[in-house]
Amino acid sequence: METIKLRAENLDLYFGKKQILKNVNINFPANQVTSLIGPSGCGKSTLLRTFNRMHDLIPEAKIDGKLFLDDLDLYDKKNSVTAIRKRIGMVFQKPNPLPKSIYDNLSYALKIHNYPVQQIPELIENALKESFLWDEVKEELKKPAVKLSGGQQQRLCIARTTVIRPEVILMDEPCSALDPISTKKIEELILKLKKDFTIVIVTHNMQQAQRISDKVAFMYLGELIEFDTCDAIFHHPKNELTHRYIGGHFG
């Protein structure tokens, strides 16, 4: 029996009067890669961002329902949002390195979260090795991170997320701005990272979803239509909509 790491119960989300998510119930198993697929505007990214409370900054966003990380109620006022975000990291669509050096991009969060100073260099080296970036940047850790290529920047952003050892990593179309070779590297990285992290990824790329996912959730117009193993979704979809979507009939 797999353990459930992250779950949403009866989740409704509104931006102003517009309902974006409709009664979503979903369980994300620990140490697996779950892909969220569906046509643009179906609420995949919105759902992803509810888990690390990225909607907090949007005043018109209203959330009903419950979200849990293990047994922690994510929207309970008692729980600190920064502690939640430390446990649930996020990688964004466009690489967004901080305007600092490669090294400081990783050291920044470690310092903020009060890691002992003498451990920091080692943690950074490990995170960069884990993201297959160490060999490419070890000579120039002081270089501004924005000077790296797009693919390197995205791997740096993943390393920046993993260096503080969250439990869950949310990825919002992390490869959509990258070339095929960089995409391949990131996919290899994702498969490696699932040993240590629970990964939820939004993707528009059906081949990518098949290559990396253990489970796949298909969403349409704010509703979760079908949620099953990767094999079941792509080869024996139960729902007609899912069948038509993965067959490329609409999207």
d(CA 98, CA 149): 14
d(CA 47, CA 169): 14
Candidate segments 38-46, 64-72, 106-114, 194-202, binder of other proteins by CB under 8 A: 106-114
Q: Does 107 bind other proteins (CB under 8 A)?
A: no
Query: In terms of CB distance, is 23 or 126 closer to other proteins?
Result: 126
Residue in this structure with the two tokens 């994702």, named with its chain if needed: 190
Instruction: Calculate Rg over the CA atoms of the chain.
Output: 18
Q: Does 86 bind other proteins (CB under 8 A)?
A: yes
d(CA 79, CA 83): 8
d(CA 41, CA 189): 27
Query: In terms of CB distance, is 105 or 242 closer to other proteins?
Result: 105
Candidate segments 20-28, 34-42, 108-116, 121-129, binder of other proteins by CB under 8 A: 108-116
Q: 222 near 20, Cβ under 8 Å?
A: yes
Buried-state track 130-163, b at ≥16 Cβ within 10 A, e below 16: bbbbbebbeeebeeebeebeebbbbbbbbbbbbb
**What character string, x for contact with other proteins (CB under 8 A) and - otherwise, covers 37-66?**
---------------x-x--x-x-------
Question: Binding-site residue total for other proteins (CB under 8 A)?
Answer: 27
Q: Shortest approach of other proteins to residue 184 CB, angstroms? A: 24
Residue 35: CB atoms within 10 A of its CB come to 26
Q: Does 149 bind other proteins (CB under 8 A)?
A: no
Q: Does 94 bind other proteins (CB under 8 A)?
A: yes
Work out which of 21, 84, 133, 212 binds other proteins, going by CB under 8 A.
84
Q: Does 112 bind other proteins (CB under 8 A)?
A: yes
The residues that touch other proteins, with contacts defined as CB under 8 A, are: 52, 54, 57, 59, 82-87, 89-90, 92, 94, 96-99, 108-109, 112-113, 146, 157, 160-161, 164
